Each structure stands twice: as structure tokens, then as C-alpha cells.
Amino acid sequence: RAFVIDCEGNVSDQLDIVIYDRHYSPFILKQDGSTYIPAESVYAVIEVKPTLNKKNVEYASKKANSVRILKRTTATIVHAGGRIEKPKKPFFILAGILTIDGYLSDSLKTNLVKAEKDDFLHFGCSLQDGAFWFKRVTGNKYSFERSAKEESLIFFFLNLLSELQQLGTVPAIDLKAYIKSFKRK
């Protein structure tokens, strides 16, 4: 179980899988079997369900939204050669759904494309029926790719690694923003 938190004390819904960085944005807390991860460190969130269908896609979209609406900070980075003064802007967090079965119908694909920005799912993988990926071309325009049934997992995995590689390193967390939240109380 994982939750994503921000410097204002907000908490996401419970998440199945969170891909996050522990270098520039270390995790904050593990308590009672749950991991609390700062929003700044999140690369991607993935919901795991048995079947790829409209209900589960909407559920995964809601989970993605609960993370994307959180406040993310940035900070300068001090390194051996000096300081990077201009902090990196936070990128759009990847989101998707991983299932055992179910098929991406044309109507489900249409619903995915029409989703609001913070509800958008980039990818889905139905282990028995194929995987899909929306890749940003420009602005709100995406290209769409779908795998064959027998290539579901490798298609999903290699696309995920490629997209993570394109994101690069997460921005450094501004720990002072988290400290300020304690002073307000």
C-alpha cells in the first residue's frame, strides 16, 4: 500500500504501484505497512485490477487524479561542481492500469482519449489480451499504439522504461516547504 503526500498535508488515494525516485526526493515515512511518498518523487502510478473494463479504467483514472492534483515543489541542486540555480519543472506523472484480462474496445479507447488531463491514463496492459500506449506528440495530441496478445508484457515493460527514460530525473524536493507545514500548526 502506498500513498502520495504533498507539502500542504494532502494525501492521495491508496495506490497499488508507485514508481518513484529516492535520490533527489527521498521517501518520507513507512507506517503500519503503508509507504508515504512525496509527490515530487513520483514518476508513475499504476492501478492493478483483474479486468480491463470501463469501471476499472475510471477507477484507475480517479487514482491518477488524486496524485496529479497534489502540490509539487522544486529546489536548486548543490553538486560537486557548484549549484544548479534553475530548478527543473515537475513533469506530468505517467498513469496506467495493469490487468489479467479484458480488451480495449473502441468505446473504451474513446473514453480514454476524452479524459480530463489529470484523469488521463497513458497506458494499459491486459496480460491475456494485449497492451496499449498513448504517447504525447504535442500539447494534447497523442499517438496510439497497441500490442499483439502474445507481446502484452514486453510491449508494456519496454514502453514504460522508454517513457521513464524520457522523463529523466525528478526535480529536487524543497524540504523547506514541508518544514513550513509544521510551523503552521
User: What does the alpha-carbon distance between residue 109 and residue 94 come to, in Å, rounded to a whole number?
Assistant: 17
Is residue 58 flagged as an active site residue? no
User: What does the alpha-carbon distance between residue 120 and residue 103 come to, in Å, rounded to a whole number?
Assistant: 18
Beta strands 94-102 and 42-52: pairing type?
parallel
CB 178 within 8 A of CB 40: no
Cell of 72: 509539487
Of the residues 6, 21, 40, 47, only one is catalytic, namely 47
Of the residues 8, 13, 16, 58, only one is catalytic, namely 16
Of the residues 40, 49, 119, 163, only one is catalytic, namely 49
CB 43 within 8 A of CB 170: yes
Is residue 62 flagged as an active site residue? no
Is residue 16 flagged as an active site residue? yes
Q: Which helix (H) or strand (E) holds 144?
A: strand 141-146
Cell of 144: 496510439
Measured CA distances, 172 to 15, 19, 26, 66, 175 (Å):
23, 16, 9, 21, 9
Residues belonging to the active site: 16, 47, 49
